[in-house]
Structure 1
Amino acid sequence: MSIRGRFLLWYLILLGVFYVTVGTLFLQLHQAGRATDRVVNIRYRIHSLCGKLLEELLSMEENEKKYRILKKQEYVELFRGSRDSFLEALQELDLVHGELGENGRWGQIREGFQVIFARGLGHQESSGDGGSWFPEDVARDLMSKITEARAENQRKVESELRQLQASSRVAQRWGLVGLLGSAMAGIVGLVLLTYSVTRPLEALKRGIRSVLRAGQVEPVAVSSKDELGEVARAFNEMAGRLRQEERMRSDFIAMLSHEIRTPLTSIAESVNLVEEEVAGSINERQRRLLRIAREEMGRVTELLTQLMKVSRMEAGKVELRPRPVEPARLVAACLRRAEPLAEPAGVRLRAKVTPHLPQVMADEGQLQQVILNLLGNAIKFSPSGGEVVVRVEPEGDGPGVRFSVEDRGPGIPQEEHSMVFQKYYRIAGGPGAQEGMGLGLSISRHIVEAHGGIMGLESRPGQGSCFYFTVPRAR
């Protein structure tokens, strides 16, 4: 799936979780709204109607008493008005309970007491006796029933409020679950998307850095079929072509070095014979020219030797004869060999070796070449009157011994640190920038890595450089 498709899928998942959460909350709120409507509207109406029934009962009782005392017809009308209001409230209560799906007991009470009211008033008007229109025991019984119904309604209000509260808690939980689900889906999706994008990017970055640091072009293991996979496949194709070209170049250099070495040996031998006057006497000017030719042939021979050595090392053919070596003795021998190069340049050589260092397991000749390469570079880039220090100390937390060569030259910019160990690379600037072919550090790195150590650089412009390498201790 492409990166765009993965982002779209992640977006749809988040959208789905969001809408499910919103839909669930909507249903919960709808149910809570219905419960609230029952409590606020219907139950409140029942409560109000029960209160009205009690008021009308008291009004009927009061109007009957006033009529008994004052014998005024207006109290009869007031009694009848209260009675009609009472019956209307009973009828409305019956309808409200019907909406709730409860029994119609209010309708039965209304019908029964409607007959009682009619009989009471009709009997009084026709007979003129002092009988009660609305018997007190009936009124008390009715008031008791209304009060009981009112209390029952209050209990139902409290019960429905508890249910509403429980529904609110459920809605809160669902909202929290939806929020956490959305957050988790977002985080998990983001982590997976980030991993799916950064993993091939890291592989590509390692491949590019391997080219920059070591000049080795290795394929990257990216199996995705998205845009990054296409970039990785293009990089691997480029890496394959570069490796093929590098092999062809190495083979060509090895062949050229071998083919040139034979005639070069013949030329050197001929120069020696002429210089020894085998073919006749020569003057001083001719001898000087022959000496220059011999020196240049020596330089070319050394260059061919280095080229062939690099080719063998890149093919993994580093021949080592490791044995226990004393670090202090090794450094002293290297300083003696480098002294003829340092003295004409006005550079002092100094060693700082930590006492009682353990022996290292190394090929002494190969290790001397590494130190001499570093000393030669340090001397070339050091100003006259400068100092080059060779330090030997424990690796620290590592199991080996650390060798370092420090100078006070112009330093190396940070952006060039990853390239100085590549073959043919020469550092820009400095008094010795244009000397050599840029093979010494590449050869040194191969030798150190063949010993199982590492080689690195610490340098800042204007503050000199420190090249270091580690070698394992002898067991």
Structure 2
Amino acid sequence: MESMPSKRFSPRFSITTKLLAWCVLLIAIFYAITAALMGRIKEIETLSSNIIGVHYKVVENSEIMAQQLITLLENKRRFEILGTAEHRQAYFRTLSEYQDRLREMLRLYPDIPEPWDTLYASLQSYLPEGWEERVDENGQALAGQAPVTESESLIRPGYSPAPVTQGQALQGDPAAPTGPPDFLPDDAVNKWLEILAQARVTNRKQMESGIMRLYDKARRAERTGFLGLTASLAIGIAGSLLIAFLLGRGLSELKRGIRRLGREGRLEPIRVLTSDELGELAQAFNRMTDQLRHEEQMRSDFISMLSHEIRTPLTSIREAVNLVKGGVLGDINEKQRKFLEISGKEVNRLSSLLTRLMNVSSLEARDMVLDLQPADPGALTAETSERMQPTAEAKGIVILVDSPDRLPQVKADTENVRQVLLNLIGNALKFSPARSVVMVRLKSDEPGQRVIFCVTDQGPGIPVEEQPFVFRKYYRAKGVRNSVDGAGLGLSISKRIVDAHGGDMWLESSPGQGSSFCFSLPSV
């Protein structure tokens, strides 16, 4: 068989490189998904910070300032009714706190000046500049313009006004007065309360909208994480299966070739499917099979040549022995006859060995051409067993044939199948002890598509570790190599004949319990 052409690849990527690249890809996918998820989380964090740090604080401060304005109105009413300095002082202290909170809102949230700059500008339109420094502890105007820190501390200890930008005052607000501060008009305070209420409503709506967006982004982050995890698992499993398939395909080819070589002795090339180390190994295997096939062909040619060269002188020797034994050259005594008979047996043994060698060479040189005809398996087995009876009787062995009355006919080349039975029965007689039984059984499988032949002996059996090799050419079991004649060709020839018929051949044996050699043939 010609060697399968295979291009010698220079390995571009080794198995290690492929696995490393796959690991790097998995890590990259993991980090990409993690980055996307972290981006979603960052958006959630920013939105949450905006809701809590801006809108919630605005609502909270709006409520506080609204309460301060209400307190202003209450203190004004109490002062108007009771006329006590305590209520006047409380009024201006609350007013200072309200002004400070407005300044703080403008400082904290410069990006959202409304409505704080408007409220602050409106407030400043009713108050003279530096008014906090020009009221005493009772809220009365001071005689001088110098700062009165004690009065200031009474208004709000630790006070230090922060600079702010001047916003646009409300319509109807007066110009900033220059004299001592007075109570603020109720209309202005009520207008400020409306503005603060509107600010609370607006920011509550923005909080609700932000919470909805926060929920939506959380769902998206959850979906991103789930899809990322699913995609990672899918890509990881698919990629791992792909790598396993690519590696397993090359390994399967190698395993198939090694199995054919080890179990069946078939020297067939395998496909080179990759350009990595497995591809190089497949090429090395193909080169090895080419070399073994070449050496096997040389050996077969040598055996064929040797057989032809020896057969001619061997035939001459056999004829000469027969002539001398027949008395053509004169009378011979019993001692001479005995040695001539021994010589004749050895000549016949050599002739049989040469015939087997020729058969092996013939089987390997070409595909076997069979003359398949319907045949009766029972009659074929009985005829073959009858031919082996003289050999069995010489050793005191009984050959029994167990064949059902009705068996389907088989498609067989009668002469070749007879040769298989002769080999199996001959081996059984060779390895069976005297006064034992060799059983030849025939049966049909359950579907009735095949007929099974089994030859069972009561010999020493075959060790388990040697059973895979018994059908190889020239193989002989270790325990009989020096005690039993043979060349190790009979089983090899028999298996090739059975394989050519489309059947199977196998062995069942246990050491010390005999052996059963079976083969099957397709039924008609």
Fold similarity call, TM over 0.5: yes
Give 3-state SS (helix, strand or coil) of 1:425's partner: coil
1:33-55: CA deviation from partner (whole Å, max 9, x where unpaired):
21121122222221221121122
C-alpha distance 304-208 of structure 1, shift in aligned 2 (>3 A): same
C-alpha distance 350-194 of structure 1, shift in aligned 2 (>3 A): same
Displacement, 1:19? 1.8
Which position in structure 1 is the counterpart of 2:101?
A: 89
Displacement, 1:224? 2.2
Which position in structure 2 is the counterpart of 1:388?
A: 438
2:448–2:523 CA contact under 8 A, matched in 1: no
Give 3-state SS (helix, strand or coil) of 1:148's partner: helix
**Letter aligned with residue 292 of structure 1:** I
Which position in structure 2 is the counterpart of 1:213?
A: 263
Which position in structure 2 is the counterpart of 1:234?
A: 284
1:388–1:405 CA contact under 8 A, matched in 2: yes
1:36 paired to 2:48: yes
2:115–2:195 CA contact under 8 A, matched in 1: no
Which position in structure 2 is the counterpart of 1:129?
A: none
1:392-450: CA deviation from partner (whole Å, max 9, x where unpaired):
22234473222222334443334333311111111233699733111111110111122
Alignment partner of 1:48 out of 50, 60, 66: 60
1:97–1:104 CA contact under 8 A, matched in 2: no
Which position in structure 1 is the counterpart of 2:204?
A: 154
Structure 2 counterparts to residues 157-196 of structure 1, below 5 A? 157-196=207-246
Alignment partner of 1:197 out of 240, 247, 252: 247
1:266 paired to 2:316: yes
Give 3-state SS (helix, strand or coil) of 1:417's partner: helix
Which position in structure 2 is the counterpart of 1:23?
A: 35
**Letter aligned with residue 181 of structure 1:** A
Give me the whole-angstrom Cα distance separating, in 2, the residues matched to 1:302 and 1:352.
29
Q: Cα RMSD over matched residues? A: 2.7
Which position in structure 2 is the counterpart of 1:449?
A: 499
Alignment partner of 2:90 out of 70, 74, 78: 78
1:409–1:430 CA contact under 8 A, matched in 2: no
**Letter aligned with residue 239 of structure 1:** T
Give me the whole-angstrom Cα distance separating, in 1, the residues matched to 2:514 and 2:192.
110
Identify which range, 344-353 or 257-266, moves more after superposition: 344-353
Give me the whole-angstrom Cα distance separating, in 2, the residues matched to 1:399 and 1:320.
20
Give 3-state SS (helix, strand or coil) of 1:429's partner: helix
1:360–1:401 CA contact under 8 A, matched in 2: yes
Displacement, 1:136? 4.6
Which position in structure 2 is the counterpart of 1:245?
A: 295
Give 3-state SS (helix, strand or coil) of 2:468's partner: coil
Unmatched 5+ stretches in structure 2: 1-12, 142-181
Alignment partner of 1:429 out of 479, 485, 492: 479
1:461 paired to 2:511: yes
Over the matched positions of the two proteins, sequence identity in percent amounts to 40
C-alpha distance 14-259 of structure 1, shift in aligned 2 (>3 A): same
The structure number with the bigger radius of gyration is 2
C-alpha distance 413-167 of structure 1, shift in aligned 2 (>3 A): farther
Give 3-state SS (helix, strand or coil) of 2:479's partner: coil
1:323-380: CA deviation from partner (whole Å, max 9, x where unpaired):
2111111121122223333334444433332332211111212111111211222233
**Letter aligned with residue 41 of structure 1:** G
Which position in structure 2 is the counterpart of 1:108?
A: 118
Give 3-state SS (helix, strand or coil) of 2:453's partner: strand
Give 3-state SS (helix, strand or coil) of 1:277's partner: coil
Identify which range, 87-96 or 317-326, moves more after superposition: 87-96
Displacement, 1:208? 1.5
Give me the whole-angstrom Cα distance separating, in 1, the residues matched to 2:22 and 2:313.
70
Displacement, 1:160? 1.2
1:419 paired to 2:469: yes
1:381–1:431 CA contact under 8 A, matched in 2: no
Which position in structure 2 is the counterpart of 1:68?
A: 80
Which position in structure 2 is the counterpart of 1:286?
A: 336
Give 3-state SS (helix, strand or coil) of 1:221's partner: coil
Give 3-state SS (helix, strand or coil) of 1:456's partner: strand
Give me the whole-angstrom Cα distance separating, in 1, the residues matched to 2:73 and 2:448.
107
C-alpha distance 215-399 of structure 1, shift in aligned 2 (>3 A): same
1:46–1:96 CA contact under 8 A, matched in 2: no
Which position in structure 1 is the counterpart of 2:162?
A: none
Which position in structure 2 is the counterpart of 1:403?
A: 453
Identify which range, 212-221 or 251-260, moves more after superposition: 212-221
1:42–1:96 CA contact under 8 A, matched in 2: no
Give me the whole-angstrom Cα distance separating, in 2, the residues matched to 1:384 and 1:143.
126
1:54-109: CA deviation from partner (whole Å, max 9, x where unpaired):
2212221221122123211121121112112222323433455543xx46233213
Give me the whole-angstrom Cα distance separating, in 1, the residues matched to 2:310 and 2:59.
117
Give 3-state SS (helix, strand or coil) of 1:389's partner: strand
1:203–1:220 CA contact under 8 A, matched in 2: yes
Give me the whole-angstrom Cα distance separating, in 2, the residues matched to 1:144 and 1:398.
102
1:410–1:430 CA contact under 8 A, matched in 2: no
1:306–1:439 CA contact under 8 A, matched in 2: yes
Higher helix share: 1
Which position in structure 1 is the counterpart of 2:422?
A: 372
1:381–1:433 CA contact under 8 A, matched in 2: no
1:138-194: CA deviation from partner (whole Å, max 9, x where unpaired):
544433432332132122112212212222222222222332333233222222222
Q: Would you say how many aligned residue pairs link Structure 1 and Structure 2?
A: 465
Give me the whole-angstrom Cα distance separating, in 1, the residues matched to 2:434 and 2:345.
25
Displacement, 1:29? 1.9
Displacement, 1:245? 0.7
**Letter aligned with residue 58 of structure 2:** I
C-alpha distance 74-470 of structure 1, shift in aligned 2 (>3 A): same
Displacement, 1:262? 0.6
C-alpha distance 78-226 of structure 1, shift in aligned 2 (>3 A): same
Give me the whole-angstrom Cα distance separating, in 2, the residues matched to 1:255 and 1:284.
38
Identify which range, 243-252 or 57-66, moves more after superposition: 57-66
Structure 2 counterparts to residues 312-327 of structure 1, below 5 A? 312-327=362-377
1:187-246: CA deviation from partner (whole Å, max 9, x where unpaired):
222222222222222211221222212222111111422112222222211111111110
